Amino acid sequence: MSERALRGTRLGATSYETDRGIDLAPRQTVEYACQNGHRFEVPFSVEAEIPVVWECRFCGQEAALLDGDEPEEKKTKPTRTHWDMLMERRTREELEEVLAERLAVLRSGGMNLAVHPRDSRKSA
């Protein structure tokens, strides 16, 4: 008898529970639209905080809430370059002094640029 009860069904694939006698949470539907013209609705609980942006179901772009506030722009830090970081550590006068010292060493022949220091150890 138990063999016949499960015949023709896939275990775990189908739920036999029903929604009868169950009170669902109160819901509201909110409409979003993306830049490509797609419009769609998303159900939310009445108690939920509604997000201003939502991913479009059709194209994956960012969709904005219709009849809602504009999303706030995120504050981003300006990109710091190597020069900016160098100027935080040294003044322009200090940099000119270091440059003059390095140029003097190069002009005096104190550094042999043709031979790498590791190459000179191999030949010795």
Place of tokens 């797609």: 38
Residue 38 annotated as binding site: yes
Residue 5 annotated as binding site: no
Residue 114 annotated as binding site: no
Measured CA to CA, the distance from residue 85 to residue 83 in angstroms comes to 5
- Distances 116 to 77, 96, 108, 122, 124 between C-alpha atoms, Å: 41, 27, 18, 10, 13
Q: Give the sign of the dihedral formed by CA 57, CA 58, CA 62, CA 64.
A: negative
Residue 41: strand pairing partners: 31
Residue 73 annotated as binding site: no
* 40 neighbors 30 (Cβ within 8 angstroms): no
> Which residues are annotated as part of the binding site?
34, 38, 56, 59
Tell me the binding residues for Zn(2+).
34, 38, 56, 59
